Amino acid sequence: MLHRIEALILPVIALSCASAARLPPRGEALNDRPVIGILTQEVTDPNLQQYGRTYIPSSYVKYIESGGARVIPIRLNQTREQHEKIFRSINGLIFIGGAVDLETSDFAHTAGIYFRLALKANDEGDYFPIWGTCLGFQLLTVQVAGKNLLSNTMANNIAMPLNLTSEAQSSRMFASFPPELFKALAEEPLTGNFHHYGVTEQVFIGNEKLSSFFTVLSTNEAKNGAVFVSTMEGKKYPFYGVQWHPEVNRFQWHPQYTFPHSKNAVHVSSLLAQFLVNEGRRSSHHFSQPEEESQALIYNFTPVYAANFSGYEQIYFF
């Protein structure tokens, strides 16, 4: 089943649980120069392949940078050895939204490499977070369940409050939210949704692998009445997923799309970016040489102005 979550935003591109990940030893300094990897995704429109074969919307890059980290793009179709070297060099990873197959695409295949590396690392006490947004959220469910469990849960170009579960208040993801913002999250349309498919609450809870791996933090209702899981976090692993798009609240502005820009929406986006980066600070991975790090950073690439053919202001092509 193909994912069509960002068909509006970018119309022309369109396990068993093991030991818990451990905190850094008491007294060990956190990493104040975190680098977060963003996995690139295939360009599906032939007309845009003149720019490159893969892409990352700049909103994801700005989102991470705003949280206090730097970004490296992770290209597809590298060797496993190259990916393992990248993994040892970065402090966290994002799976972005998009419109590729969750099982057969190069994006999904490469994500699987990093997912398994992250599982092993965390099991060995080597803290490493992963965040999935929209398609990335769904990709995490496929990696854990071992199969595609998506169904029609259309919530396309709409902002909604979250139906928070009882576990949300004690979650890691929302721990830094002040009470008034946490309350607003459940009452105001602070989360932008741009998807056709998702995992229903019934299917999620009914799948033993998913329900034992992730805690459901929120649900939402689709256009057809189906209730889907919209926010989750790992019970033992620092893996997080949102079916909605926190990055759009501050970094996407196309007037045809329902990007939440209220004061509270901006605050939600800011706190979640800081949360992910702070998770990355707990990773001790690093590049072997400063020059190698400098050459890998996103600063070496120039984004393309894209507002005239997409819902993004800028896109990095590779």
C-alpha angle 254-259-263 in degrees, rounded to nearest 5: 120
Calpha distance 216→10 (Å, rounded): 28
Calpha distance 289→113 (Å, rounded): 24
Calpha distance 279→233 (Å, rounded): 13
Calpha distance 307→301 (Å, rounded): 18
280: alpha, beta or left? (left if phi > 0; alpha if psi -120 to 50): alpha
Question: Residue written as tokens 């894209």?
Answer: 306
Which of 46, 58, 138, 43 shows the shortest CA–CA distance to 97? 138
Which residue among 195, 245, 267, 285 is the active-site one?
245
| Beta-carbon count within 10 A of 314 CB | 18
**Residues in CB range of 292: below 8 A, 6 or more apart:** 89
Angle, nearest 10°, between helix axes 58-66 and 263-280? 80
Which residue among 83, 134, 196, 267 is the active-site one?
134
245 included as an active-site residue: yes
How many residues appear in the chain? 318
Q: Are strands 314-317 and 304-305 parallel, antiparallel or unpaired?
A: antiparallel
Question: Residue written as tokens 């105001």?
Answer: 188
17 included as an active-site residue: no
Question: Cα 106 vs. chain centroid, distance in angstroms?
Answer: 17
Residues labelled catalytic? 134, 245
